[in-house]
Amino acid sequence: MSRAMSMWVQLVMSERGIRAPQGFAYKGHSLRSGGSSAAEAIGVFRFRGNWMGGWSQQGRTRELHYLDPSVGPSRGAWALLGWLADGVYSAGQVETERRRGARDTDEPGEQVGARDA
């Protein structure tokens, strides 16, 4: 997490008069921990929380360093993350675009060094 993000978190919390408990500090990773803990509190499946946070499905980093079991469910958590607990996902109508001169490939994503034709 960037130093700029940590500074921003500290500034926003300070402006709102929110102080971390003694011996702790709010930093950029507090956003990951807070979001992850809130998702867990409202019953988001563990694999979805790992996926959203970019954690490995096999690793334990999230469980060991980012989940705070003292965080309970809240209206804010439901408002922000409830869609993950519901398991209902919709991105609307899928649109595709074929670049002129593009070759078919089994590889996902764009080719490294490919230029728009």
Per-residue pLDDT of the chain (117 residues; tens, 9 = 90+): 578 888 888 899 899 999 888 998 888 888 889 999 999 999 999 989 998 888 999 989 999 999 999 999 999 999 999 988 887 666 677 666 666 766 666 655 555 554 444
* pTM for this model (two decimals): 0.64
- List the structure tokens of 26: 């709010």
Q: What is the 8-class DSSP label of residue 2? A: -
Q: Show me where the domains of the chain are located.
A: 3-86
Query: What gap in Å lies between CA 99 and CA 117, rounded to an integer?
Result: 7
Secondary structure percentages of the chain, helix, strand, coil, to 5: 45, 0, 55
- List the structure tokens of 39: 């998702």
Query: What gap in Å lies between CA 38 and CA 43, rounded to an integer?
Result: 9
